[in-house]
Chain A
Amino acid sequence: MDYSDLIKKAAQLRVDTLTAINKAGFGYSGSSMSLMEILVTLYYGSLNNRPVFKYDVVKPDSAERDYLVLSKGHAAVALYSVLADKGFFHRSEMDYIGKLNSLLQTSPNIKVPGITAPVAYHGEGLSIACGIAMSLKMDRKLNHVFAILGDGELEEGQIWEAAMSAVHYKLNNLIAFIDNDDLQMDGPVRAVMDIGFIQSKFDSFGWKVIQVHDGHDFDQLLDALNRAFTSNRQPVCIWCHTTKGKGIPFAEGKVGYHDVPLSDAELSEVISYMKSLYE
């Protein structure tokens, strides 16, 4: 996909995600928007004529697949939109997220085709990604492991345990995106519990840190991944500056939209705006 196609895809997936959250009556609208370009880059982007993220829709547990740990599991609906769009499961499943007897739970579950790691609680995903990466190293396999972390999550101690062990075991097959949208449930991350300067923190643990100034720009994301793939002996942190609620004109950068669905009126306004982008 070229640049303009990626932009259209992101807009379409935003509509799918917000519609599903609205139907569920529960969900993290703001948080699912900030990481959309990261997901689209992984699943639709290509580098040197190869897909960035290897997956097999027909055989989801193929030995060749890469792994994605959505550590900020509350943004699961965004990932479900991608998987539904790719055909891992039928689109109609998106209408039943978080309802009784549904396939799609509100956090990623390994029963869902295409989900490569379970996440039920914040702060644990980077450790799970480390485990996968250690196991792949042990088997001398070349698959990659990606993790997507929120910035509020970095307040958890376990993230730094994982950061330490990733360097100890020289996990250069591990790439962790930080979706740094500066907001968490209770307000600005800086005000709730300042996580400080992400670059120097990961640097001092021994990670290779690549900063992406606009985490919604596909060129910058692809360029960062290109550099990440050549890392030698170091895990890579791609630190992305993003905007909560990106793409929803009235919700951008607003903490109030972190964990609420859009109302029907808001949704129809957003859909008509976004459809103009991809139709």
Chain B
Amino acid sequence: MNNENDKKSVSSGLMDGLIKMAKKYRNVIVLSADFGQRIGVEKFSRAFPERYFNLGLQEANMISIATGFCMTGKLPVIVGFGNFWGKAYEQIRNDICLPNLNVKIVDISVGIAEGQYGVGYQVTGDLACMRALPNMKVLAPADYYEAASSIETALDDFGPVYFRMSNIEVPCVFDEEYKFYFGKSQILKEGKDVCIFATGNVLNNCLNVAEIFEKEGVRVSVVNISSIKPIDKDLIIECSKKSKLLVTVEDHNVVGGLYSAVSEVLIEESPTILKKIGVFDKFTESAKGSDLYKKYELDVEGIVSQIKGFLKNS
């Protein structure tokens, strides 16, 4: 399923999808607060120099400026790095979600995957904050093709959308035929013993985990939950009834993220035990993403050993 030869960063998929849509919709503009080079915005700014605005390190100002652009019929896509949205959370709430404006917000370096920038830039609370905003949709595309398709779907749709993704290269899971829909998840692998709900950066690792377990005779299903709000309730409930052990895996704090979102569905519709793997409500440290994944057990070995622990105790 995952193709090791086809490695692309998720953010480049978003940028390619964005450029395609900017040709279709002439009112699409891009705002960023510095870090443009780092997040690959220059691809857009070369194609549409007059539709790109760099606001410098003024995150709060940038969000409110997007509101102004909306008032004159523009469709702003805000692309940022690290916890930029945290500096402007109040503006996102009051200036974008409250009047329900058509603004897309993209964070291109989330989780601890790009840990060397330091803990200040590690984004482990965005799902919790963004899910709590009325009108906001929250997406976490897992690969290049999903990012491209999700930005196309979001720009065809109306209303605020928040995207979380990373800038590092990962093997592609989907292909060009893939089409993203809000509130739809996919079962990428089917197995009756364990069901892993994964999102974003860690989906690839989870697919590898499933292969390892398969060799040991444990059948694992992997569900890609890229649309976190709205969430695919039916699929989650269906999976909960089929598997013996349910686990969420996320590169996010286990408080308020995917674990909470899936729990909210299960507790209401189909109460069952759900285990969690993620950043365990702590600040990490500045180190290479791969080293952090190892230490905080989000790499393949870490996830395998945690799931083995759950299986042993169940």
Q: B-contacting residues of A (Cβ < 8 Å)?
A: 67, 69, 109-110, 116-118, 120-121, 124, 127-136, 138-139, 157-158, 161-162, 164-165, 168-169
CB–CB B50/A138 < 8 A: yes
Could you list 10 A-B pairs, sorted by A, with CB under 8 Å?
A118-B94, A118-B99, A127-B61, A130-B61, A130-B64, A134-B53, A135-B71, A135-B73, A138-B51, A158-B91
Q: A-contacting residues of B (Cβ < 8 Å)?
A: 29, 50-51, 53, 55-56, 58, 60-61, 63-74, 90-91, 94-95, 98-99
CB–CB B95/A118 < 8 A: yes
CB–CB A134/B65 < 8 A: yes
CB–CB A127/B72 < 8 A: no
Q: How far is the CA of A129 from the CA of B71 in the complex (A)?
A: 10
Q: How far is the CA of A51 from the CA of B74 in the complex (A)?
A: 27
Q: How far is the CA of A164 from the CA of B69 in the complex (A)?
A: 18
Q: How far is the CA of A133 from the CA of B67 in the complex (A)?
A: 11
CB–CB A130/B95 < 8 A: no
Q: Which of A121, A127, A131 contacts B90, CB < 8 Å?
A: A121
Which residues of A are found within 8 Å of B73, using beta-carbon distances?
135
Q: How far is the CA of A62 from the CA of B300 in the complex (A)?
A: 58
Q: How far is the CA of A165 from the CA of B65 in the complex (A)?
A: 10
CB–CB B67/A131 < 8 A: yes
CB–CB A124/B68 < 8 A: no
CB–CB B68/A165 < 8 A: no
In the complex, which residue of chain B has the Cβ closest to the Cβ of A132?
B68
CB–CB B99/A165 < 8 A: no
Q: How far is the CA of A67 from the CA of B68 in the complex (A)?
A: 10
Given A118-B95, A139-B72, A161-B58: A124 and B50 interface contact (C-beta under 8 Å): no
CB–CB B94/A120 < 8 A: yes
Q: How far is the CA of A10 from the CA of B69 in the complex (A)?
A: 32
CB–CB A127/B68 < 8 A: yes
CB–CB A136/B60 < 8 A: no
Which residues of A are found within 8 Å of B55, using beta-carbon distances?
165
CB distance from A116 to the nearest CB of B (A): 6
Q: How far is the CA of A164 from the CA of B65 in the complex (A)?
A: 13
Q: Which of B53, B65, B74, B90 contacts A128, CB < 8 Å?
A: B65
Chain A residues touching B, majority SS: helix
CB–CB B71/A116 < 8 A: yes
Which residues of A are found within 8 Å of B99, using beta-carbon distances?
109-110, 118
In the complex, the 7 A-B pairs of residues with the closest C-beta atoms, listed nearest first: A131-B68, A127-B64, A131-B65, A161-B61, A120-B94, A135-B72, A132-B68
Given A118-B98, A120-B95: A128 and B72 interface contact (C-beta under 8 Å): no
Which residues of A are found within 8 Å of B74, using beta-carbon distances?
135, 138
CB–CB A128/B68 < 8 A: yes
CB–CB A117/B67 < 8 A: yes
Which residues of B are found within 8 Å of A158, using beta-carbon distances?
60-61, 64, 91
CB–CB B91/A124 < 8 A: yes
Given A118-B98, A120-B98: A128 and B58 interface contact (C-beta under 8 Å): no
CB–CB B68/A130 < 8 A: yes
CB–CB A128/B60 < 8 A: no
CB distance from B31 to the nearest CB of A (A): 9
CB–CB A124/B95 < 8 A: yes
CB–CB A127/B69 < 8 A: no
CB–CB A118/B67 < 8 A: yes
Q: How far is the CA of A136 from the CA of B53 in the complex (A)?
A: 14
Which residues of B are found within 8 Å of A157, using beta-carbon distances?
60
CB–CB B94/A128 < 8 A: no
Given A127-B65, A132-B71, A135-B69, 17 new contacts (CB under 8 A): A67-B71, A69-B68, A116-B71, A118-B94, A127-B60, A132-B68, A134-B68, A135-B68, A136-B72, A138-B29, A138-B51, A138-B74, A158-B61, A158-B64, A158-B91, A161-B58, A165-B55
Q: How far is the CA of A244 from the CA of B142 in the complex (A)?
A: 55
CB distance from A161 to the nearest CB of B (A): 4
Given A110-B99, A165-B55: A124 and B72 interface contact (C-beta under 8 Å): no
Q: How far is the CA of A131 from the CA of B98 in the complex (A)?
A: 18
Q: How far is the CA of A165 from the CA of B55 in the complex (A)?
A: 7
Which residues of A are found within 8 Å of B65, using beta-carbon distances?
127-128, 130-131, 134, 162, 165
CB distance from B172 to the nearest CB of A (A): 36
Q: How far is the CA of A157 from the CA of B74 in the complex (A)?
A: 26
Q: How far is the CA of A64 from the CA of B51 in the complex (A)?
A: 22
CB distance from B286 to the nearest CB of A (A): 27
CB distance from A241 to the nearest CB of B (A): 27
Q: How far is the CA of A69 from the CA of B68 in the complex (A)?
A: 9
Q: How far is the CA of A139 from the CA of B94 in the complex (A)?
A: 26
Q: How far is the CA of A230 from the CA of B314 in the complex (A)?
A: 77
In the complex, which residue of chain B has the Cβ closest to the Cβ of A69?
B68
Q: How far is the CA of A165 from the CA of B33 in the complex (A)?
A: 12
Which residues of B are found within 8 Å of A116, using beta-carbon distances?
71
Q: Which of A109, A129, A139 contacts B68, CB < 8 Å?
A: A129
Q: How far is the CA of A110 from the CA of B95 in the complex (A)?
A: 11
In the complex, which residue of chain B has the Cβ closest to the Cβ of A139?
B72
Which residues of B are found within 8 Å of A130, using beta-carbon distances?
61, 64-65, 68
In the complex, which residue of chain B has the Cβ closest to the Cβ of A127?
B64
Q: How far is the CA of A7 from the CA of B19 in the complex (A)?
A: 54
CB–CB A162/B95 < 8 A: no
Q: How far is the CA of A117 from the CA of B74 in the complex (A)?
A: 14
Q: Which of A121, A168, A169 contacts B94, CB < 8 Å?
A: A121
Q: How far is the CA of A118 from the CA of B103 in the complex (A)?
A: 14
Q: How far is the CA of A227 from the CA of B230 in the complex (A)?
A: 52
